[in-house]
Amino acid sequence: MFNSTVRRGFVLLASVSLALSSCGRTPASAAPNLSALAAAGEPVINELYYDSPSTDVGTFIELKGPAGASLSGYTLAAFDTAGTQYRTITLSGTIPASGYFVVAQDTTVASRTLVNVGADLNNGSGSLRLLKSTTIIDAVAYGTPSSNRGEGSPAPTTGAGSALARVPDGSDTNANSVDFKVQVSTPGAANGGETGGGGTTGKKVLFDLTKAEDAGNADWRIDGAYSDYASALRGLGYTVSSLTGTSITSTSLSGASVLVIPEPQNPFSDAERAAIQSFVQNGGGVFMITDHRVSDRNNNGWDSPEVFNGWDGSTPASVGSTLQASLNSDVIFGLGASFNSSFSDPVYTATPVTTHPILSGVSSAGVYVGTSVDVLTGTALMGTGGKTYLAVNNVGSGRVAMWGDSSTFGDNTYSDGSTGTYNNWPNLSNAAMGKNIVRWLAKDL
């Protein structure tokens, strides 16, 4: 390892390193000790988001450094798994007041500082170096490159929809495998704490099971079709559990940051609606996941759009007054599950209609026979064909979101261990969007 406190001769040593690598050797000096350079005020590579779901859009490289520092003369050099340089990005401008300089592939990236299509790096193994003229300032390798141009042992690969980030920001033990964690992307914002939790460690996310969300051929449980979703949230540092029983109360919501309600089958009582409304008004977040009309899994006359919006006046023949309004989401939250959908609707692809932190790294999401969202108040985020499929709203001190398809966040596993029903859905899943929604609701994004 280089001793970066010895500045004299550093450029010469870097040149020797590159020369040796070109002969098929990877000298120990190829992975310099960079902690002293960072302490001296040099920027570091702080986050890489190189593999977005589906077609790569919204990728970025984030640097962290002193606010106002000029990046004139700095470049980023990308290397493939064999150590061959395939891209150079010339940097310009200064580091913003936030301390984060975001090189974005395109204009869909939030908090971008510089747009350069070269920010779309190899999805497999590779390395990236930050150079000032020919001096290596920082380096990171990920995966299993045959020629490691990073620092120490490589960091892991991320998989589509996640980022590779220094946790905590700017940390440097001279080993990429130690310093970088896989987490949700956070362009222009702080990375997670020691657990790689995006700053969310200890916050509780509840998945509702009081409304027969696992009835019939549905299985929206955190130990079933939503097991991958729950695991992804735990990976961000959240505590994830199920809300069981037959009703939702203020007591059962106590201590929670986010309540996820995935395709409910039974209506909410007036008391439950009041408890959920109070939860949001006082700072909580609610994620409502609906589905198409005539999605009555337990044959009680209610489908999920009705459960969110209220009885439509048809079946069941008699509904007590305490249940007719159900959640009444269009009135209390400004977002309603549209009644204009059916099982005959095709698979749609919803795309962003605006910019929003939730959409960071999200180019599209499949809607497998879902329902659109009626936006009375709030913001439409994704849609197609003039219809909205993802919308959000700020209500009191809290936040709400509604998405029109329960299968989007599901995997292919039942809670009883069987598989098969959801095999056609993983290609429609969007892990980045699901995690971003919860992080936004929890006010971590």
Domain-by-domain residue ranges, the chain? 10-183, 204-441
Highest mean pLDDT of the ranges 8-22, 142-156, 190-204, 404-418: 142-156
Residue 24: how many CB atoms within 10 A of its CB?
A: 10
| pLDDT mean over 214-240 | 83
Is the pLDDT confidence value at 6 over 50?
A: no
- Taken in order 143, 145, 148, 153, is the CA torsion positive or negative? positive
Closest CA to 349 of 381, 385, 401, 403: 385
Q: Which residues make beta-bridge pairs with 348?
A: 367
pTM to 2 decimal places: 0.59
Q: What pLDDT score was predicted for residue 429?
A: 52
Is the pLDDT confidence value at 365 over 60?
A: yes
CATH match for 204-441 among 3.40.50.880, 3.90.180.10, 3.40.50.1010, 3.40.710.10: 3.40.50.880
- Taken in order 116, 118, 124, 126, is the CA torsion positive or negative? negative
Report, at the CATH architecture level, how domain 10-183 is classified.
Sandwich (2.60)
Please state, in angstroms and rounded to a whole number, the distance separating the CA atoms of residues 113 and 102: 5
Burial degree of 286 (CB within 10 A; 0-12, 13-18, 19+)? buried
Is the pLDDT confidence value at 423 over 60?
A: no
For 332, phi then psi, to 5°, come to -85, -25
Cα-based angle 372, 392, 349 (whole degrees, multiple of 5): 40
Closest CA to 395 of 276, 255, 241, 235: 276
Q: What pLDDT score was predicted for residue 24?
A: 30
pLDDT digits (tens, 9 = 90+) for 301-312: 999 999 999 998
| pLDDT mean over 103-109 | 91
Please state, in angstroms and rounded to a whole number, the distance separating the CA atoms of residues 367 and 402: 13
**60-64 and 100-104 as β-strands: parallel, antiparallel, unpaired?**
antiparallel
| pLDDT mean over 118-132 | 92
Cis? peptide before 316, omega within 30° of 0: yes
Structure tokens at 296: 């009555």
Is the pLDDT confidence value at 236 over 80?
A: no
Please state, in angstroms and rounded to a whole number, the distance separating the CA atoms of residues 405 and 365: 10
H-helix segments, 358-398: none
Please state, in angstroms and rounded to a whole number, the distance separating the CA atoms of residues 220 and 198: 25
Please state, in angstroms and rounded to a whole number, the distance separating the CA atoms of residues 423 and 420: 5
pLDDT digits (tens, 9 = 90+) for 324-357: 999 999 999 999 999 887 767 777 889 999 999 8
Please state, in angstroms and rounded to a whole number, the distance separating the CA atoms of residues 172 and 124: 23
Please state, in angstroms and rounded to a whole number, the distance separating the CA atoms of residues 346 and 144: 41
Q: What pLDDT score was predicted for residue 163?
A: 87
Structure tokens at 208: 């509702």
What percent of the chain has a predicted confidence (pLDDT) above 70? 83
